[in-house]
Amino acid sequence: MADKQAMYGLWTRELTRYLRSWSQIVGWLATPLLILGFFAFSFLGVALPGLPADVEYVQYLVPVMAGFTILFSASFTGLGILSDRDVGFLKEILVAPVNRRAIVLGWTAGRATTAII
C-alpha cells in the first residue's frame, strides 16, 4: 500500500511541476510546430533527391519530429533527476521506507505522462 501511495505521490509531483512551468509547456508545443511549419513550407514543391515525386516532405518529417520529441523527453527526464539530486529531494525520497522500484516507477510514470501530454 505504501508503494502505491509513493508511486502516486511522485506521479502527482511530476505532473504538478510540469503544469506549473508554462515556459516548458509552450516550448514543447511550439518548437515542433515551428520546425514542422518552417521545413514543410520551405520545401513545398521542391524536388528532393531520393524522394519520389508523389510524396511530400512532410510525410517524412512528421515521424522525425515524433522521434525528436521522445528523445528530448528522455533527456529532460534525466535532467530532472539530476536537478532533484542537486536540491536534495533525491536523498529525502531514497531514505523513505518505500521500495526503490516504486520510486523509479512513480518517477517514470510521471515523466511518461508529461511526455505524452
At 71, is the pLDDT very low, low, confident or very high (cuts 50, 70, 90)?
A: confident
Q: How far apart are CA 74 and CA 78, in angstroms?
A: 7
Give the global pTM: 0.65
Task: Note the pLDDT of residue 94.
Answer: 79
Residue-wise pLDDT tens digits, 4-31: 888 888 889 888 888 888 887 887 788 8
Residues ≥6 apart with Cβ < 8 Å to 61:
36, 39, 40
pLDDT greater than 80 at residue 99:
yes
